[in-house]
Amino acid sequence: MHDENAAAMGGVSGHAGLFGTAPDLMRFAQMMLNGGVARARGEGREMARTRVTGS
């Protein structure tokens, strides 16, 4: 990552500067799949468990 605007912001900004790993990104993606919660409950869990393509 090389971004002068982020560097001028002390390396902390919403547009650049975040470092991470694939397993961490997977945790984030799973949270999104859960409907925005760490552990799916209710509708979020139903959505994650529902087959949407064919039977």
Partner 1 sequence: MDAPVGRYLPAFGRAHDTAVTVRRLLTHSGGELGWKPLYQQARDRRAIMDLAEQTPLEYPPGTRMIYSDLGAITLTDMVETLTGERLDRFLKRRLFEPLGMRDTRFNPPRSWRSRIARRRTTRRGGTGWCTHGA
**C-beta pairs of 37-45 under 8 Å, 24+ apart in sequence:** none
Q: Among residue numbers 1 through 55, which ones bind partner 1 (CB under 8 A)?
A: 1-21, 23-25, 27-28, 31, 38
The least CB distance from residue 6 to partner 1, in Å, is 7
Residues 6 or more apart in contact with residue 25 via CB below 8 angstroms: none
Q: Give the C-alpha separation, 6 to 1, whole Å.
A: 10
Residue closer to partner 1 (CB basis): 24 or 46: 24
Binding site for partner 1 (CB under 8 A): 1-21, 23-25, 27-28, 31, 38
